[in-house]
Amino acid sequence: MRAKLALQMLFLSPRGLSNAIKLKEAEVKNNIEH
C-alpha cells in the first residue's frame, strides 16, 4: 500500500521521487535495526 502511495507521489512531482527514496531508505534502516 505504501509503495503505491510513493509511486503516486513520484508521478505527481519530481520532488516526490526524492521523498519516495528517503521514505524507502528510512524503511530499510528500520527493518535492519529491528
Determine the pLDDT at residue 25.
92
What is the pTM (predicted TM-score) of this model? 0.45
- Given a contact cutoff of 8 angstroms between Cβ atoms, the answer to whether 32 and 14 are in contact is no
Q: How far is CA 13 from the centre of its chain?
A: 13
Determine the pLDDT at residue 8.
76
Determine the pLDDT at residue 17.
72
Q: Provide the grid cell at 11.
A: 508521478
Domain boundaries, the chain: 2-33
Determine the pLDDT at residue 1.
65
pLDDT per position as a tens digit, 1-34: 688 887 776 677 777 678 878 988 999 899 887 6
